[in-house]
Each structure stands twice: as structure tokens, then as C-alpha cells.
């Protein structure tokens, strides 16, 4: 056997192992972004089995791959938030529910740490892209099947709602794709599908700009993501998309100026936030009409009032961490019910944290979120002396953390997803990877 042949054989196990790692990472992203797909398809027991397999695989990967944890460079605010959530068991009003919530928070964090520590930046982008493509393609196929062949609304499997009228939001799909939507896709919620589509637009555009995908396929997937974004008709995601576009504009402007000459950029950004916030407050009724929303923000105003009143009873430390609300315990039982639908979140991440972890929790969450935004901004606009990956243009891929972080922050105003499942996983991944990259850049000569 020739020397090149022997060398090729020696490298095959490593190549195969990285393929397994990337495939599993794609499954992790898919299962957190489309958790409702597994629940609708297999019920809670089936979903629980898949979730256990994912967490077990993440733990095994962290043990076998032995990544460099870099504890001195680990996000301290992330540790503080997890520590506070765990410590809240001591004063929780609903200890059993808190035990479940804290456990879910930690296992989701373990899955995120696998992604952040065991994958290179190129692999993260590649596996996230693959998961998003699977969700979008399956969602379109699912909606087409329901609209063309089933021709009626479809409920999740393994659920019996009895003879009562089923609320519209309980349906897996309403089958109105051919009427122009809105569509729910495999995730059974147009806001969730819209946010997945927005993420896909960001990721696919970055891949196209970085040249890591063929132009024809890249444009095709970008077109599909844009179409799905429009078909969801999500007002929440529309505002998040506007925030992402604005962040991209300022990042590109900042890149064209030296660090000492960026004062106009920051002044303009601050002015845009102030003017945008004021304009949103004044024009909210008009915007709601244009987006087809009710004046009470689809019941959110009532939920916010209820949550605010409850949070004010325990303002400093909160009622105890619970993640998803537990509707079988006080004070969540009957807290947010609208048209027969029991809501399991405050539809505002900041109110949710104030309710569960008090003002102290708000401070810690703000530190985690805005420290991640701070790092992602400077990683996006200050080109380091060495690229994240030698094999891809840094200028495009460095924008990804910033744009995803901005999208998550914009979503916090109307959803609490950043605290649970895919939102928390993405936040942890972004917090850890930006912190590690910042540390790497600082060590460069």
C-alpha cells in the first residue's frame, strides 16, 4: 500500500466522526427549533423520548470530545442566570414545578454547550443551515398536503379535545396555504415558523455572501425562506426583521469607518432607537391594522396586566423559576386564558423574568443579553487579525451572531421564547461562541 493510501485510511475515522458530530448537531438544532413538530407527531411521551436521546447524546459528546471549556473566558452572566434560577428553588412558591423548570433549563443549556464547544464556527453555520432547510422544506410539503389532499384543518395526533369547539390556535395546520396563509408549518405556530424563516433568511444570506454554498442553491433556499416569511404574516417577526435590517445597515456603515470615527454611527443608531420607539408607540394602532392584528395585540395587553400585577407582589426575587408556566399550580392556574386557550408564557421575556426571578433576574438577564449583543457587534464590525475560519471569508460570517442576537432581542418584546427551547439554546450558543472568539482575538499578537 502506498504512503498516500495509508494516510487516507488514517484520516477516514476522523472524517467519519466529524460527520457524525455534524449530523447530531443538525438534529439538536432541528429538535429545539421544531420541538412542537415532535410533540404534534408523537405526543408528549414521544417528544420526551427524543429530548432524552438528544440530551444524552450531547452529554456523551461533551465527555468524549473533551472540548476546551476556557472557564476564565466563559460568560459570567450565563453562569449567574443559571445559578439564580437554581437558587430560586429555595423560595419558589411552587417547588415541584420549579424543579421541572430548572431541570429543563439545565438540559437545554447542555445541548447548547455541545453546539458551542464541540463545533467549529463553519460547522455551526453549516448545521444550523441544514436544520433550517429541513424545517422549511417539511413545512411547505406539510402545508401543501393539507391544502391539496386533506382540505381541512388538522389537529395534532394523540390528542382528544372531545366534542367542544376547538380554538383556532390548537390546530396543527388550518390548511389555507392556497388562500395565501397564514400558515403554521410543522411547528404549528405562525410566529414560530416566521421566526425560523427569518433566521433562515439571515443564515442563507450569510452563506451566499461567504461563498460557502453554490449561488443557484443558495438563492433558491433564500427565496423559499423569504416566501415562508411572507406566508406566516407574523407581526412579531415583521418587526424583528425590521430590527435586523437596521442592525445590518449600521454594522456595514461602521465597517467602513475606523473605530475612532464611528461616533456618527452610534449617534444615528441611538437616534433611530429613540425615534423608532416613539413612532412605534404613536403608530401602533395603524400598524396593527396593516398587519391584521387586534388593538389588544391578540390578547397580550391583558396578559401583561395580569403578569405585572402578580410580579409586583414579589418584585425583588420573584415567585421562582418555572420556564414554561405550569397551569396546574397557583398562581398560573387561570392567569392567562383567552378564548379557551391557556397561555404558558407572558409573551414578553422581560415580564416573564420579572415574574419568576424578580428585579434581580432582570438585571442578570439584561447583562447576559446585552453583553452578547456588545461582543457580537464588535466581532461584526472590527475585523480581527485572523478570520474565524481560514476557509471562508470572515467579513460575511462575522455578521451572523449580531443579526441573530438582534432578532432574538426584538422577539423578547412580544414572546418569551428566548427563555425556553430554541430561544435559550441560541442565546447560550451565541453568548459562549462570541465570548470565546473575543478571548481568541485578545490573545492574538
Does some domain include residue 247?
yes
- DSSP run (H or E) holding 341: strand 341-342
Q: Which of 12-21, 22-31, 172-181, 307-316 has the lowest mean pLDDT?
A: 12-21
CA 202, 206, 212, 213 torsion-angle sign: positive
Mean pLDDT of the chain: 87
pLDDT at 29 over 80: yes
9 within a domain of the structure (yes/no) = no
Q: List pLDDT tens digits, range 186-197.
A: 999 999 999 999
How far is it, in rounded angstroms, from Cα 373 to Cα 406?
7
3 part of a folded domain: no
Q: What is the pLDDT of residues 299-336, one digit of tens each?
A: 678 888 999 999 999 999 999 999 989 989 999 888 88
Mean pLDDT, range 422-429, rounded to an integer: 96
Is residue 6 domain-resident? no
Whether residue 15 has pLDDT greater than 50: yes
Cβ distance 240 to 412 under 8 Å? no
Q: How far apart are CA 36 and CA 12, in angstroms?
A: 37
Long-range CB contact pairs, 245-250, < 8 A, 24+? 246/272, 246/276, 247/402, 247/403, 247/406, 248/399, 248/403
Task: Report yes or no on 2 lying in a domain.
Answer: no
pLDDT of residue 296: 56
Residues in the chain: 445
**Residue 338 has what DSSP assignment?**
E
Average pLDDT over every residue of 224-241: 93
Q: Name the pLDDT band for 8 (thresholds 50, 70, 90).
A: very low
Q: Is the residue at 7 inside a domain?
A: no
Domain annotation covers residue 5: no
Q: Distance (Å, rounded) from C-alpha 357 to C-alpha 350?
A: 10
DSSP class of residue 298 equals T
Q: pLDDT for 339-351, tens place per residue?
A: 777 888 999 999 9
Q: Which residues pair with 337 in a beta bridge?
A: 342
Whether 360 shows a pLDDT value over 80: the answer reads: yes
Strand pairing partners for 173? 154
Q: Which of 76, 65, 50, 77 is nearest to 115 (CA)?
A: 65
How far is residue 286's CA from residue 291's CA, in Å, rounded to a whole number?
9
How far is Cα 80 from Cα 288, in angstroms, rounded to an integer? 38
Integer-rounded Cα Rg, in Å, for the chain is 22
- Residue 18, preceding bond cis, omega within 30 degrees? no
pLDDT for the residue 269: 87
pLDDT of 12 reads 43
Of the candidates 379, 429, 306, 365, which has an alpha carbon nearest to the alpha carbon of residue 77? 365
Domain that holds residue 222: 14-443
Query: What φ, ψ does residue 312 adopt, rounded to 5°?
Result: -65, -20
- pLDDT confidence of 282, banded at 50, 70, 90? low
Phi-psi category of residue 185: left, alpha or beta, with phi > 0 → left and psi -120 to 50 → alpha: left
Q: In Å, what is the CA distance from 384 to each residue of 38, 387, 388?
A: 41, 7, 9
Residue 235 makes CB contacts below 8 A (sequence gap 6+) with: 287, 288, 291, 292, 293, 414
Average pLDDT over residues 8-14: 48
Residue 26 burial by Cβ neighbours in a 10 Å radius (0-12, 13-18, 19+): buried
In tens, the pLDDT along 150-205 reads 989 999 987 777 656 777 778 899 999 999 889 999 999 999 999 999 999 999 99
Closest CA to 384 of 434, 322, 327, 431: 434
Q: What pLDDT shows up at residue 79?
A: 95
Residue 162 inside a domain? The answer is yes
Structurally, the chain folds into a number of domains equal to 1
- The answer to whether 349 and 365 are in contact (CB under 8 A) is yes
What's the pTM? 0.91
Backbone angles phi, psi at 390, to 5 degrees: -65, -20
Amino acid at each position: 500500500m502506498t504512503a498516500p493510501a495509508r494516510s487516507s485510511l488514517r484520516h477516514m475515522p476522523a472524517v467519519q466522526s466529524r460527520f457524525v458530530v455534524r449530523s447530531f448537531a443538525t438534529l439538536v438544532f432541528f429538535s429545539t427549533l421544531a420541538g412542537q413538530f415532535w410533540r404534534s407527531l408523537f405526543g408528549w411521551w414521544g417528544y420526551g423520548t427524543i429530548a432524552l436521546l438528544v440530551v444524552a447524546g450531547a452529554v456523551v459528546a461533551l465527555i468524549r470530545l473533551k472540548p476546551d471549556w476556557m472557564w476564565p473566558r466563559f460568560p459570567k452572566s450565563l453562569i449567574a442566570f443559571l445559578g439564580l434560577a437554581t437558587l430560586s428553588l429555595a423560595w419558589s412558591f411552587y417547588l415541584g414545578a420549579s424543579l421541572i423548570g430548572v431541570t429543563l433549563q439545565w438540559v437545554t443549556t447542555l445541548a447548547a454547550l455541545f453546539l458551542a464547544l464541540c463545533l467549529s464556527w463553519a460547522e455551526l453555520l453549516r448545521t444550523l443551515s441544514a436544520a433550517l432547510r429541513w424545517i422549511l422544506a417539511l413545512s411547505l410539503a406539510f402545508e401543501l398536503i393539507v391544502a391539496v389532499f386533506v382540505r381541512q384543518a388538522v389537529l395534532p395526533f394523540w390528542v382528544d379535545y372531545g366534542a367542544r369547539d376547538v380554538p383556532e390556535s390548537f390546530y396543527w395546520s388550518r390548511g389555507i396555504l392556497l388562500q395565501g396563509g397564514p400558515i403554521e408549518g410543522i411547528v404549528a405556530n405562525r410566529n414560530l415558523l416566521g421566526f425560523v424563516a427569518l433566521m433562515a433568511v439571515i443564515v442563507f444570506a450569510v452563506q451566499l455572501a461567504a461563498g460557502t454554498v453554490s449561488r443557484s442553491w443558495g438563492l433558491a433556499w433564500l427565496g423559499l425562506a423569504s416566501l415562508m416569511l411572507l406566508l406566516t404574516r407574523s407581526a412579531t417577526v415583521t418587526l424583528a426583521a425590521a430590527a435586523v435590517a437596521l442592525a445590518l445597515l449600521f454594522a456595514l456603515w461602521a465597517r467602513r469607518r475606523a473605530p475612532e470615527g464611528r461616533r456618527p454611527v452610534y449617534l444615528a443608531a441611538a437616534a433611530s432607537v429613540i425615534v423608532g420607539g416613539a413612532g412605534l408607540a404613536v403608530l401602533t394602532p395603524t400598524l396593527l391594522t396593516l398587519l391584521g392584528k387586534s388593538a389588544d395585540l391578540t390578547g397580550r395587553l391583558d396578559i401583561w396586566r395580569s403578569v405585572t400585577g402578580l410580579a409586583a407582589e414579589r418584585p425583588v426575587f420573584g415567585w421562582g423559576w418555572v420556564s414554561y408556566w405550569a397551569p396546574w399550580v397557583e398562581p398560573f392556574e387561570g392567569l392567562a386564558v383567552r378564548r379557551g386557550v391557556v397561555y404558558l408564557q407572558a409573551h414578553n421575556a422581560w415580564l416573564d423574568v420579572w415574574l419568576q426571578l424578580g428585579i434581580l433576574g432582570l438585571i442578570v438577564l439584561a447583562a447576559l443579553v446585552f453583553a452578547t449583543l456588545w461582543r457580537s457587534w464588535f466581532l461584526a464590525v472590527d475585523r480581527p487579525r485572523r478570520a474565524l475560519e481560514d476557509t471562508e471569508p470572515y467579513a460575511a460570517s462575522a455578521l451572523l451572531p449580531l443579526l441573530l442576537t438582534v432578532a432574538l432581542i426584538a422577539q423578547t418584546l412580544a414572546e418569551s421564547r428566548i427563555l425556553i427551547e430554541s430561544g435559550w439554546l441560541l442565546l447560550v450558543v451565541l453568548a459562549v461562541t462570541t465570548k470565546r472568539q473575543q478571548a481568541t482575538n485578545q490573545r492574538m499578537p
